[in-house]
Amino acid sequence: MANTLKYFQKLPQSLRTLTTSAPKNDAWLSKIFVRKIEPTKESHSRMLSDKEIIYALQTHNFRPDSKVPYLSTISQTLDFIKAQNSLAGEVELVGSWTVNVGDQDQALHLWKFTGGYEKIDTFNEITSQSEDFKKIVECQGKLVRSRHLQYLLAFSYWPQIQLRKPNNVYEIRSYALKPGTMIEWGNNWARAINFRQNNDEAFAGFFSQIGRLYNVHHIWCYEDLNKRKETRESAWRSPGWDECVAYTVPLIREMHCRIMVPTDFSPTQ
């Protein structure tokens, strides 16, 4: 009980008020900071994203001795897509990275589909009928240990993606949220993102539609790791950032971050 009191005394005043106003018969410790979400007839995706654009995030774990030939299969995939007139300007690679810190021997590739799921259906139809593409996939299958694909939507409050040059490092912070908390997350981050734009570090923010659900990915761009340190410390000195963090932490079931570097053929560097 003494530890709980000390924790409570360290909270911002606005959060103390929120906690003390809870009904006495509630298990308030399990409900701290989580505000009630009213029922709605709008889907979460429509409320949080206003773009008819789907992003595909591929996460591949390649064999430690196969990085170079594996990346060659991704480059070949990119060349194949560029050669398809029916996909021109509507299926694009946004970023391609390998992980330096976090899950080793891992690569992430972010694709953009303009035209929604209809364009994804077109892409799948073309690739399923192409013998050349099948050979690329077969070769890749011998070089990877596991693969995962998610379809994502971009948060409407996040800045538009701008390709960067040259020589940056990227951080992807991935969150598994408690079911039913996506709107609450969006409400808080619509405010929190304002604290993270001073150094143009906000690259992209997504939530999952297909694949692992209630997943959120925030991708940040920094000149180097030291700049990352300075930028994050600067956010904590901004009044209001601590409160945004306090509201969102109870919504998370699991989180992890990875530091990534762009591949040679990545459009964003």
Q: What is the CATH number of the domain that holds 66?
A: 3.30.70.100
DSSP H helical ranges for the chain: 2-9, 13-20, 28-31, 44-48, 67-82, 116-129, 131-141, 182-192, 225-236, 241-248
Q: Which residue has the tokens 């994502």?
A: 152
Residue 118 lies in a domain: yes
Q: Which domain holds residue 109?
A: 53-153
Confidence of residue 198 (pLDDT cuts 50, 70, 90): confident
Residue 180 lies in a domain: no
Question: What is the predicted pLDDT for the residue at 47?
Answer: 62
Residue 86 lies in a domain: yes
Residue 201 lies in a domain: no
Give the separation between CA 24 and CA 12, rounded to whole angstroms: 21
Question: What is the predicted pLDDT for the residue at 35?
Answer: 43
Residue 39 lies in a domain: no
What is the pTM (predicted TM-score) of this model?
Answer: 0.82
Distance (Å) of CA 183 to CA 177, 214, 238: 11, 11, 24
Residue 32 lies in a domain: no
pLDDT at residue 28 above 70? no
**What is the arithmetic mean of pLDDT over 72-87?**
96
Q: How many domains does the chain have?
A: 1
Phi and psi, residue 118, nearest 5° = -60, -40
